[in-house]
Structure 1
Amino acid sequence: MKKLILGRVGKKALVGTLAALLTAPTLAFDHFISRDGHQLKDGDQVFRFAGIHAPELHRIENDARGVCKEDPRGWGQYFQWPTADEQDNWIQSLVLTGHKAMRVYVLSVATPYDEACERETHILPPTSKDGMPRLNEVAMVHYDRMIALSDKHGLRLILPFIDHWKWWGGREQLAAFYGEQEDDFYDTSSKTYAAYQHIIEQVIHRTNTITGRKYNQEKAIMAWETGNELKGSTEAFVRETAAHIKRLAPNQLVMDGTYLKINEFSKTDPNVDIISNHFYTVNNNNNPEEVRKNLRAIDGKKVYFVGEFGLESAEFLNSVMQAAVHEEYKGAKAAGAFIWGFRGRRHDGGFYWHREYTGHYSYHLPGFPEGFRNEEQAVVDVVRTAIAQMNGDDTVMPLPAPQAPTLRAIDTPNNLKWLGAPVGRWYRFERATSQSGPWQVIGDGISDGRNGFDPATDVLFADPMPREAGTTYFYRVTAFNESGHSGPSNIESFKQP
């Protein structure tokens, strides 16, 4: 199991020489994740996991741009699609720090304010009054890539469909397509529910434009979740939805996305595999005892998963995480647990971030001293310890040495921009007057881990050395962490005017 912390090598990679094995890209998973009673299995091995919840692997909220005032809901944000480099970096950041699985956020639903707020969504309104909603092909290509990269690097995905809430556009916005109310989403005879069923069918039957496989054949997809925090789920809603998903994707698992309670009917529904809950202090359930209560309520009949918890001190989060790792009822333990929440690196340097109402910022991997007010390094340690424990390991594996970062084209050496390595903590910048060197170190121990970074105004690193007019300077950057150094990045040049 220890090899899973650094990724997975598929059967095809066993062909060829040892040198080929060491350089070959990670290939497809061998198995779908299956359920055996209250346990998840990867082949014949028990599958347990922990991590920092990464909701935005397929759509990113750019908090640095602030609030979109044209959205009358009062908190309209600027969302954008990630670049391929960003998605690859985020998924590698998770896998190389030990993550084996990840639950992402929902498919976004169109609102009347999207154009004014310069954003697109996954789900578009129907073209006729009683028609079905459409998938936005532009959006879904990024979803395709998330799945393909997860398969490549060794990350299992939990994919929820629709949100109870309206942050990304959810049940209220879907119901608005048909002149219905938000609670009609849970009414299995409503137009909104029919649209929801149609979305599920479109998504599961979609052919991935990168892998060429239908989604229901993607082994990286561990489970489909009925939705995010679906507080109003009824027995009929869960029964019909779970059966619909299972008919469409019999090799993948189904998770009941109900929030704040354990549904008795889900314990006996043959199409429900996983029951989850989210813990937050505002709901008076963010404590280790909630893990025990949920395990007793499920009674060993289904897999149990703590989908989200957070927004507390590192010490408190550790108490909940340790309950998720160790608490047992009738032989059943939590299959996994995620602390909220993660944001990844930007294409041109620094990190995306999100600030919660509690004042907590999102966490960055592999953890940085700049996040001390957020106890970032302590929280990452909590998670990596739990990952090791879930794997049955006695110690936390060290981070691998980072790969080379990517230096971006240089507009001015007074603001050097680079995409950091997935597990890089620090960077060394070098300059030369020839592409072949000799190289002079101009900055060492540079970090890209600042929280609240605004690329419009902030600079991560500027060349501090004088430059002569008419001279062309060449730059490169190396990443390092406590385990070692990368090779140098690509070389970029700048001619001083």
Structure 2
Amino acid sequence: MRSRTWASLAALVLAVFSAPPVHADPSASSRFVTRSESRLVLDGRPFRFAGTNIYWLGLDENVGGVGYPTFFRIRDALDTARAMGMTVVRSHMLASTGNELSILPSKEAGFNEEAFATVDYAIAHARAIGLRLILPLTDEWSYYHGGHRDFTGTYGLPSPAFYTDERVIADYQAYVRHVMHRVNPLTGLAYNADPTIMAWEFGNELEGMTLDWLNRNAAAFRQWAPRQLIAAGRRFDIDPDTLAAPGVDIVDVHYYPPAAERVRADAATVTAAGKVYIGGEYASTAATKDLLTPLAEDPDVTGMLSWSLFGHHDRNGFVQHDDGFTLHFPGDDERMRASVEAQIAFAGHLSPGRSVPRAGPALITQVDKRGGLNELRWRGAAGASGYIVERSARGRWVRAHEGLLTDDRTPWLDAGARGDVTYRVVPVDRLGRRGAASEPVRAGAAQTVLTDPLETTGLASGHANVTIVPGDGTAVARADGQAWMSWSRPGLQRVLAGVTGRPRVRVQVSDDGRAWRTVRHETGDGQVTADAGGAGHVRVLWNGDCGATACAAERQACERDAERQACAPDAGAAAAGPVGGRVAGLTRVTLWSADPAPVTAPPASFAPLAPASGAQDVLGTPAFTWGPAAGAAFYTLAVSERADLSDPVLQATGITGTAHTPSGELEPGTTYHWRITAVNAAGRTGSAVASFSTRPLPTAPAVVDDFETFADSAQLAAAYVRNPGGDLIVPELVPGQAMRLDYTLGGAGYAGVTRTFSPALDVWGRQGLELRLGRTGAPAKVTVQFVTGGVYFEHTLDAAPDGTVRIPFAGFAHPSWAGAGPLDLTRFEQLSFYVGGGPGTGTLTVDEVTAYPQEG
């Protein structure tokens, strides 16, 4: 079944990718990257690169569970990598085994050819825009896309048998051979003949490779893909067998976190063995100019690939991931933006003069009504640093807001427009260049709009005989015979379907989703429009391009319809076949519906909730909350030291929820007054004015740990737990009630202990940490680390002084391997002490850890 379905799809899709984007360099994509000893070469010149990992291009886990990513998400992520100046992408797109959506669900089931559709498209689009790919073929770890245990599990063997059992090795090689010889219907090239695939990697972070295993598989790979390179690597260090194996071209090392000295040392080791060095993964949170500039200047470092890039969601905003190293362009916060800029600078150093296309276009996916006002969502554009929403007024476009909106600002509420409005969204790139505007969308005063880009069938309420295939910058819903898709929305008024080729189209509406009636439609300029008349359901029926016999049959069926005027006028025209060789089908459907909750009066009354009126000792800048106002579109907040709210110290508008935490700071020990105003298209309603007083700043230090509560060393060691990943460190209670840490630094290069406070300490209002330190023995850096509200902060002392040291909280930063977040000193949850450096033994003494108050 899978093979027959894919065969028909492949035949039709073959022509879809016929025209590369205007910014592509097809000639560059036709040349192989080669190896010259420890360097890569392209066109006789050294080839070094900045890159990233986009592991999910073949099979995704991040949108609605495990499934194939849409063609838009694939294209957008690759375009984003190119917009950052990157030239190589590493992807686990072929590490896909062990589940029904995999390339190889099981040995017994055989290959699932449908699983190659996203892989084919990713390779074809990478080729079109001049990116190279490194493709791991399996995985050490049993994630959703499977790994090498899928090969050993067939025989009930433990995972190490992947490297020794002849049956397992034969199965793995059969899998690889099938993949390498696959002919991509979008390019006409076998994978092993496509220069886009720069290197095949035996697998991601394989831990058990032996020299014999490497040599056997390298020989096979070389036979099947003689012009492509072979990469190998394990997780956090260099596998010596990869240096010794003559068939391995590239040695891949991973870093969490990376350090420039470590990377350069590893690169020197690898190149001294005559291999090409790459940092196949490094924590994107650690990407700084301090890290990457010395690596750009080191010719032994051929490439560095961050982990890991995610692009735009199909509806609005970004695809999210939760491993702590998610990378979005241009960045969700200050830290991520700095990481992005550092990677762009690194890419510019390694690939100078590489052109970056303008961003765009975006796509307006939804216009909802909130209290009678328009709320827009749009699908973002690769390379956009921000967006301008424009309205059409008297025949010209004007800005609808100040500054730039970001992808994190969708949905966006237009508080400044009433009545019928036409919108478009214009992307702006990091150089300030405007990209192509989105297609305009008109929303009536009492209308909502939904656009389905047909990347999936997920927005439809029903469908039959539909296959989603890639088109020229869009997706195409192709008909397998007579196809239909339906949508359900109350009060449907109008439908517009974009078409490509010459499909025969009918539009039907229904009140109950069962009894359908055909309605008249208009055609022209690649669009079909129809009046839905307030029905609750609409569906579009279409065939593919038809020959004379099929078109005649369609004409007869159309003439039998009770409303024969709904038929397209020229059945014979469809016999001409596809326009421009494109696949015939639907490309987009837009639905206009009545506002389901129109407003005719200002919002209802409501009350402020917190801080409660008269509240005392409110900490810092509080989260303001209030009850919902029926009919509200948004709320405004005003906070002032004056009861009449004049000269406010904090203001916010466009708040769509019933809570808001301002970014500004309130003064300690001060009384404030505040009010919320609810707004909709018909007016505004204000709450009563409430007041509260903030907590005064503390004048005394807060004890974090004076070590006087521990009875003995055993109790101390139970509280201060050793980090098991580090070297040996032993806490001891010493006379005078201090903590002595005896450490032996070795292979890990660090050692540390951590105490968790339950309940968390409240050290709000203090300026920093004060502690007494003493050190003897081997020199070591000392890192003080703490956690507040689940967020890590740390500060490193190059040498521990003998005596008291003060570290202001402003001097602490997020570790490179950890996520960012606020400093919430009301929840001081964890304290750690680490020593690090070269091999040796020593002692660190810690005493009287306090949070000291503000001075003056």
| TM category, shorter | 0.7 to 0.9
Instruction: Report the equivalent of 1:377.
Output: 337
Instruction: Report the equivalent of 2:318.
Output: 351
**Percent of paired sites with the same residue:** 26
Which structure: greater strand fraction? 2
The alpha-carbon deviation at position 264 of structure 1 amounts to: 3.8
Instruction: Report the equivalent of 2:426.
Output: 478
- Indicate the larger mover: 268-277 or 230-239: 268-277
Cα separation, partners in 2 of 1:45 and 1:297, compared to 1, 3 Å: closer
Instruction: Report the equivalent of 2:485.
Output: none
Alignment of 1:319-468 (within 5 A): 319-327=290-298, 333-356=300-323, 360-365=324-329, 367-368=330-331, 370-372=332-334, 375-391=335-351, 393=352, 400-408=357-365, 410=367, 414-432=374-392, 437-450=395-408, 459-468=410-419
Of the two structures, which has the highest relative contact order with CA contacts closer than 8 Å and spacing of 6 or more? 1
Q: Distance in 2 between matches of 1:280 and 1:335?
A: 19
Partner of residue 234 from structure 1, selected from 197, 205, 210 = 210
Instruction: Report the equivalent of 2:452.
Output: none
Alignment of 1:255-274 (within 5 A): 255-274=231-250
- Indicate the larger mover: 82-91 or 396-405: 396-405
Cα separation, partners in 2 of 1:267 and 1:21, compared to 1, 3 Å: closer
**Residue 279 of structure 1 contacts residue 287 of structure 1 at CA under 8 Å; is this kept in 2?**
no
SS of residue paired to 1:378: helix
Cα separation, partners in 2 of 1:21 and 1:151, compared to 1, 3 Å: closer
- Indicate the larger mover: 228-237 or 411-420: 411-420
Unpaired runs of at least 5, structure 2: 1-18, 447-593, 595-856
1:264-285: CA deviation from partner (whole Å, max 9, x where unpaired) = 443343321111111124xxx7
1:100-133: CA deviation from partner (whole Å, max 9, x where unpaired) = 111112534455xx67xxxx32321123xxxxx6
Q: Distance in 1 between matches of 2:375 and 2:104?
A: 38
Q: Distance in 2 between matches of 1:428 and 1:493?
A: 17
Alignment of 1:54-453 (within 5 A): 54-62=54-62, 78-111=65-98, 120-127=101-108, 134-167=110-143, 168-189=145-166, 191-281=167-257, 288-310=261-283, 312-315=285-288, 318-327=289-298, 333-356=300-323, 360-365=324-329, 367-368=330-331, 370-372=332-334, 375-391=335-351, 393=352, 400-408=357-365, 410=367, 414-432=374-392, 437-450=395-408
Q: TM-score, normalised by structure 1?
A: 0.77
Which structure: greater helix fraction? 1
Q: Distance in 2 between matches of 1:444 and 1:62?
A: 33
**Residue 82 of structure 2 contacts residue 356 of structure 2 at CA under 8 Å; is this kept in 1?**
no
**Residue 275 of structure 1 contacts residue 302 of structure 1 at CA under 8 Å; is this kept in 2?**
yes
SS of residue paired to 2:187: coil
The alpha-carbon deviation at position 256 of structure 1 amounts to: 1.5
Q: Distance in 1 between matches of 2:133 and 2:23?
A: 23
The alpha-carbon deviation at position 226 of structure 1 amounts to: 0.4
SS of residue paired to 1:416: strand
1:402-425: CA deviation from partner (whole Å, max 9, x where unpaired) = 232222364657442322221111
The alpha-carbon deviation at position 290 of structure 1 amounts to: 4.0
The alpha-carbon deviation at position 177 of structure 1 amounts to: 2.8
Q: Distance in 2 between matches of 1:36 and 1:53?
A: 25
**Residue 76 of structure 2 contacts residue 312 of structure 2 at CA under 8 Å; is this kept in 1?**
yes
**Residue 428 of structure 1 contacts residue 478 of structure 1 at CA under 8 Å; is this kept in 2?**
yes
Instruction: Report the equivalent of 2:574.
Output: none
The alpha-carbon deviation at position 201 of structure 1 amounts to: 0.4
1:39-67: CA deviation from partner (whole Å, max 9, x where unpaired) = 1011111100013332223333316x5xx
Cα separation, partners in 2 of 1:297 and 1:95, compared to 1, 3 Å: closer
Cα separation, partners in 2 of 1:433 and 1:319, compared to 1, 3 Å: closer
Cα separation, partners in 2 of 1:433 and 1:381, compared to 1, 3 Å: closer
Q: Distance in 2 between matches of 1:22 and 1:223?
A: 24
Q: Distance in 1 between matches of 2:59 and 2:418?
A: 40
SS of residue paired to 2:214: helix
Instruction: Report the equivalent of 2:564.
Output: none
The alpha-carbon deviation at position 475 of structure 1 amounts to: 2.2
SS of residue paired to 1:123: coil
The alpha-carbon deviation at position 491 of structure 1 amounts to: 1.9
The alpha-carbon deviation at position 195 of structure 1 amounts to: 1.7
**Residue 284 of structure 2 contacts residue 339 of structure 2 at CA under 8 Å; is this kept in 1?**
no
Q: Distance in 1 between matches of 2:413 and 2:110?
A: 46
Cα separation, partners in 2 of 1:146 and 1:444, compared to 1, 3 Å: farther
Q: Distance in 1 between matches of 2:79 and 2:23?
A: 16
Kindly report the root-mean-square deviation, in angstroms, between the aligned alpha carbons of the 2 structures.
2.9
**Residue 316 of structure 2 contacts residue 410 of structure 2 at CA under 8 Å; is this kept in 1?**
no
**Residue 52 of structure 2 contacts residue 90 of structure 2 at CA under 8 Å; is this kept in 1?**
no
Q: Distance in 1 between matches of 2:304 and 2:180?
A: 25
Cα separation, partners in 2 of 1:181 and 1:286, compared to 1, 3 Å: farther
Cα separation, partners in 2 of 1:21 and 1:82, compared to 1, 3 Å: closer
Paired amino acid for 1:406: L
Q: Distance in 1 between matches of 2:25 and 2:306?
A: 27
Q: Distance in 1 between matches of 2:440 and 2:380?
A: 15
- CA radius of gyration, larger in: 2
May I ask how many residue pairs the two structures share in their alignment? 422
Unpaired runs of at least 5, structure 1: 1-19, 66-77, 128-132, 451-457
The alpha-carbon deviation at position 166 of structure 1 amounts to: 0.8
Paired amino acid for 1:52: T
Q: Distance in 1 between matches of 2:32 and 2:355?
A: 28
Paired amino acid for 2:326: S
Alignment of 1:23-42 (within 5 A): 23=22, 26-28=25-27, 29-42=29-42
Paired amino acid for 1:479: P
Q: TM-score, normalised by structure 2?
A: 0.46
Paired amino acid for 2:105: L
